[in-house]
Amino acid sequence: MTSDRHEILVIGDALLDVSASPKRPMRGGADVPAAIRLAPGGQGANLAVRLARRGLRVRLVCGLAADASGSLVREALRAEGVVVTAVTVPDSGAVVIVLDERGERTMLSQRSAFAAGAAAVVPPDAGWTVVSGYLLLEPDAHELARAVAARSSRRVLLGCAMPDDAAATDWISAATAMRPDLLVLNTAEADEIDGGATIATGVVTTSERLVRATIEGVSAESRTAPGEPAIDTTGAGDAFAAALVAALSQEGWPPIASALESALVGATELASAVARTPGAQGRVAGERAATLRP
């Protein structure tokens, strides 16, 4: 069982998700019936919520404005027991997610940069810190990377899709400055940055059927058995990362092979369950009820 005594710092987006599932094929200029949901999301918030539901004390550094979207997101995070340190931005972010009949998604995103503001509020004694890779695409990415490297004892960096080769080069530079202990990537992200082994001392790569990890010479893998089809993959990768961090934060470093394998299996199971649940933060079986923090 996880412990309330461990606090994990997450730095990443907290957004408002607008999910649309068309009930018949979309046509230009047509009014197509759809199921539409409004819910909190964003990689940082998704991670923080899943960690809180596993009994960990979590602080989220994110960009929020004093607007209606920001108020909704703040209240949802508070209700989950997540402590929020908000960097003021012009507009709270939002994502429009269009889901096809297989649960695959197309996303339209609006986000405000806040890497420099986040760098200024990283606690001086942060223990485990998890950083969303999207922040390292921002102009002030190196400032944040250096702050995390200087103030955190265990650093986890999540991958992200690179818009072009130049962005990938800048991202790798900032990621290297952060000196992550663990880099979590899907296979496409790993291909974009040549596997990530030159950036971090530990790398986890995920695909639809196989997850592999190597941390300071300790290796393990987990295979995903065929199961029920996904209905909404939004947030599944974030859930994987949260379960992985929750498990590893309770182990020594580097973890022994059996502990690493167990963490991968648990992370894969949670990601699969989330993919079969509507919404990036939809509650799944086994997650504890919210615990409000002072």
Question: Residue 271 falls within a domain, yes or no?
Answer: yes
Question: Residue 136 falls within a domain, yes or no?
Answer: yes
Do the beta carbons of residue 61 and residue 118 sit within 8 Å?
A: yes
SS3 state of residue 157? strand
| Domain extent for 268 | 7-23+35-275
The terminus-to-terminus CA distance of the chain in angstroms comes to 22
pLDDT at 289: 72
Question: Residue 288 falls within a domain, yes or no?
Answer: no
The string of pLDDT tens digits covering residues 175-213 is 999 999 999 999 999 999 999 999 999 999 999 889 999
Confidence of residue 4 (pLDDT cuts 50, 70, 90): very low
Question: Residue 155 falls within a domain, yes or no?
Answer: yes
Question: Residue 72 falls within a domain, yes or no?
Answer: yes
What mean pLDDT comes out for the span 34-57?
94
pLDDT at 144: 98
Question: Residue 167 falls within a domain, yes or no?
Answer: yes
Q: The CATH number of the domain where 47 resides is what?
A: 3.40.1190.20
DSSP 137: G
DSSP 272: H
Do the beta carbons of residue 211 and residue 224 sit within 8 Å?
A: yes
Instruction: Give CA–CA dist 10/47, Å, rounded.
Output: 7
pLDDT at 258: 97
Confidence of residue 2 (pLDDT cuts 50, 70, 90): very low
Question: Residue 283 falls within a domain, yes or no?
Answer: no
| Listed range (27-36, 246-255, 267-276) with the worst mean pLDDT | 27-36
Question: Residue 80 falls within a domain, yes or no?
Answer: yes
